[in-house]
Chain A
Amino acid sequence: MLSDLSLAFETVKKMTENTEAVKQAGEVKNLEFVDTEIGGREIPNTESGQGLELQDQSRLMEEQNREVKEAAYMSDDIGLREQTQEFGDPAYIRELRESYPNMDTVLSKNEEILRDPGSDLAYQRAADTLERYKGTVFENEIKDSLGDRFELTESKQMTVETEYGETKPDVVLRGALEEMRIGDLTVGKGEDLYIEAKCGSAEYIRNQMGHMLEQVEGHEQNSLVVVTRDYLDIAPDVRAEFEKQLSEKGSHLYVADVRAMDISNGLFSSLKL
Chain B
Amino acid sequence: MRQTYYGVDPSVRKELEDGLRQFNRLTRSLFDRSADSGKLEGLRKERDTLQDEIQAKLTQSGQVLGFLTEEQLEDLDKLLKEIEDPEIRSLLGANHIPYGCLESVIGALISLPQPPRNLIFFLERAKQKRFHVIVWIM
A residues with a Cβ closer than 8 A to B are 88, 90, 113-114, 119-129, 132, 261-262, 264-265, 268-269, 271, 273
Contact = CB atoms under 8 A, between A and B. Distances in A.
Contact of B137 (A114, A124, A269, A273): A124
B28 interface: yes
A125 B37 contact: no
Given A127-B27, A265-B37, 5 more contacts: A121-B137, A123-B27, A124-B137, A261-B44, A265-B41
A90 B90 CA distance: 31
28 contacts: A88-B37, A113-B77, A119-B90, A119-B92, A119-B94, A120-B93, A121-B3, A121-B93, A121-B95, A121-B137, A122-B93, A123-B28, A123-B31, A124-B95, A124-B137, A125-B137, A128-B1, A129-B1, A261-B41, A261-B44, A262-B37, A265-B30, A265-B40, A265-B41, A265-B44, A269-B31, A271-B31, A273-B31
Contacts of B31: 114, 123, 126-127, 268-269, 271, 273
Interface in B24-65: 24, 27-28, 30-31, 33, 37, 40-41, 44
A221 B30 CA distance: 41
A124 B27 contact: yes
Interface of B: 1, 3, 24, 27-28, 30-31, 33, 37, 40-41, 44, 73, 77, 90, 92-95, 135, 137
A128 B137 contact: yes
Contacts of B27: 120, 123-124, 127
Given A128-B1, A261-B41, A261-B44, A120 B137 contact: no
Contacts of B24: 120, 123-124
Contacts, number: 57
Contacts of A122: 93
Contacts of A126: 31
State the main secondary structure of chain A at its contact with B: helix
Which 5 residue pairs of A and B lie closest in terms of their CB atoms, listed nearest first? Answer: A119-B93, A120-B24, A265-B40, A124-B137, A123-B27
Given A114-B31, A262-B37, A265-B37, A125 B44 contact: no
B40 to A, nearest CB: 5
B1 A120 contact: no
A273 B137 CA distance: 22
B73 A125 contact: yes
Contacts of B93: 119-122
Given A128-B137, A132-B1, A269-B33, A121 B94 contact: yes
A125 B90 contact: no
A15 B59 CA distance: 50
Contacts of B33: 90, 269
Contacts of B44: 261, 264-265
Contacts of A90: 33
Contacts of A123: 24, 27-28, 31
A173 to B, nearest CB: 30
Contacts of A113: 77
Nearest to A201: B48
